[in-house]
A and B are shown apart, each in its own frame.
Chain A
Amino acid sequence: AQSVAQPEDQVNVAEGNPLTVKCTYSVSGNPYLFWYVQYPNRGLQFLLKYITGDNLVKGSYGFEAEFNKSQTSFHLKKPSALVSDSALYFCAVRPFRDDKIIFGKGTRLHILP
C-alpha cells in the first residue's frame, strides 16, 4: 500500500538551533512530494515541493527539504529555528500518475525559547 510516514509525533528544538522534521514514503514510480504547515485554527499552508531536478528544495520562511531517492525520504530542515516556527507540519505525496494525495500523520514542532 502507498503510504507516508512521519516517525516523530513531536520534535522539540531550542531557538537558534537547526531543526529536522522527518518524512519517508512508499509509493510506486517517481513521487511528487510536498510539505505543509498548520497553525492553530487555520488550514494548511504550502511550504515547498519536489517534482524533479535538484534534490535540495528551498521553500517559504527559510525552510528547505532534501529529497533522497535511495532512502525514500524527504526531510524538512531549517538552519536556525524560530519560536514562530512552532506548528504542526505535514508531509504529503502524490504518487506518479495518480490524482490522490496521501498525507502523513503530522509532526508537532515545538521551538523552545
Chain B
Amino acid sequence: EAQVTQNPRYLITVTGKKLTVTCSQNMNHEYMSWYRQDPGLGLRQIYYSMNVEVTDKGDVPEGYKVSRKEKRNFPLILESPSPNQTSLYFCASRRGANQPQHFGDGTRLSIL
C-alpha cells in the first residue's frame, strides 16, 4: 500500500530536549515536505526537499532542521524544542513538482 509513515504519532516532551520525527514514503517520490498545522493559520511549510541531498527552507524554518540522505526518508529534527513549536506536524511526498501530495497521518507534538 502506498503510504507516508510518520513516527511518533504523539509526543509530549520538555523544552530543550532534542527530538526527531521520522518520515518515510514507499512510493519512490522525488519531493518531500514538512508542514505544521496550527488553528487559524492553516498549513505552513517548514522545509522541503526536491531530491536526495537537496533541501530548501519553507515559510517557517526557524528552530527546525532536516536531512535527505535517502530518497525514502525525510526526518524533521528539533535541536532545542521550545513551547512555540507545540503543533500538529505533517510530512508529505509527491512524485513531481505538479503532482498532488500524499500526506502522513500527522504527529502531535507538545513541548512543555
Residue contact B42 to A90, C-beta cutoff 8 Å: yes
A11 touches B (CB below 8 Å): no
Residues of B within 8 A of A106 (CB): 42-43
Kindly state the separation between the CA atoms of A38 and B39 in the bound complex, as whole angstroms: 14
Residue contact A105 to B41, C-beta cutoff 8 Å: yes
8 residue pairs from A and B, CB less than 8 Å apart: A36-B101, A42-B105, A44-B90, A90-B42, A92-B43, A99-B48, A103-B45, A105-B41
A14-22, A45-53, A62-70, A73-81: which lies at the interface? A45-53
Residue contact A43 to B103, C-beta cutoff 8 Å: yes
Interface band, chain A: 20 to 34
> Which of B90, B92, B101, B104 gathers the greatest number of chain A CB atoms within 10 Å?
B101
Within 8 A of B (CB), among A77-113: 90, 92, 94, 99-106
A28 touches B (CB below 8 Å): no
Q: How many residues of B contact A (CB 8 A)?
A: 26
Shortest beta-carbon distance from A81 to chain B in Å:
23
Kindly state the separation between the CA atoms of A85 and B30 in the bound complex, as whole angstroms: 31
Question: Do most interface residues of chain B lie in helix, strand or loop, or is the interface mixed?
Answer: strand
Residue contact B42 to A43, C-beta cutoff 8 Å: no
Partner of B31, one of A32, A90, A99: A99
B106 touches A (CB below 8 Å): yes
Residues of A within 8 A of B100 (CB): 34, 46, 49
Residues of A within 8 A of B84 (CB): none
Answer whether A103 and B43 are a contact pair too, CB < 8 Å, given A43-B4, A43-B105, A43-B106.
Answer: yes
Partner of B43, one of A32, A45, A49, A90: A90
Residue contact A46 to B41, C-beta cutoff 8 Å: no
